[in-house]
Structure 1
Amino acid sequence: MFRSALVRAQALAKPAITRNIATTSKLLAHQSTETDEQFDQRFEKFFNQPDLDGWDIRRGITDLWGHDLVPEPKILEAALRACRRVNDFALAVRILEAVKDKCGGRVNEIYPWVIQQLRPTLTDLGISTPEELGYDKPELYTQSVYDM
């Protein structure tokens, strides 16, 4: 009796499982047709809008960080200039910190190149890098007594 109830339950559940898998695969099959250049232009255009406020900049940065990539320096330049327009120095430094974090295991290769490309903009806007501000080390960092 229990076996017949189990067979009936499986028969009822099987179409629902198949339906969910088919729906999921259909949703996952959608791919973006946007090229890299169009992607860069979209974000650069977004950050160059003159009427952005701090919330909009954070929304754009969050959307940008959701992608598996390190943003091009021209996108970062537009974001830093947007931070300057709203006079948000802290957000500009946080963007640079996040870029370093997005570099992952290749931080020694990618991050110095990004900073080199952004150096004229950073100088023009008066923005210091996290390393220049001492944010690359903990605030209460002390040398280990075993290393003295």
Structure 2
Amino acid sequence: MAIRSTEESAFRISSASVRPEKHADLLEDIRLLWLDLRGLTHDHVKLATLEARRAGNSLASMVAAGVVMAVLLIGVWIGLMTAAVLALIQSNTVGPIEAVLLMAGANLVGALVLFWFIRRKSRYLLFPETVHSLRSKGES
């Protein structure tokens, strides 16, 4: 916004055409305010766009790193299961087929427990309390 000096203001007040000059000043102030608002809005939108691009790049990098990490952890898990099967076979506790089946069963039980956990947590993805509160207000 334009800031005027006190001399300029005093001159305008003492002049004979007070009303048209005030009106022109008001329009000029509104125009300057509008330009400032447009510039500020543009800056905010540009900042949001740049941050969204950076967030997208970060998300893509995190997903790629997560996929690589998952592959590495699968390799580690397979190695641990192989070592456990070999240890069972070597201790003559069970035969080779039974040891492999035992490890497969243990993995299946672990997967079922995780499936149950995911199912229980998935109901919160739909914002149940928010939906309930919106329905209650709409029905009232």
TM-score by length of 1: 0.27
Larger relative contact order (Cα-Cα within 8 Å, sequence gap ≥ 6): 1
Is the helix fraction higher in 1 or 2? 2
Larger-gyration structure (1/2): 2
TM-score by length of 2: 0.28
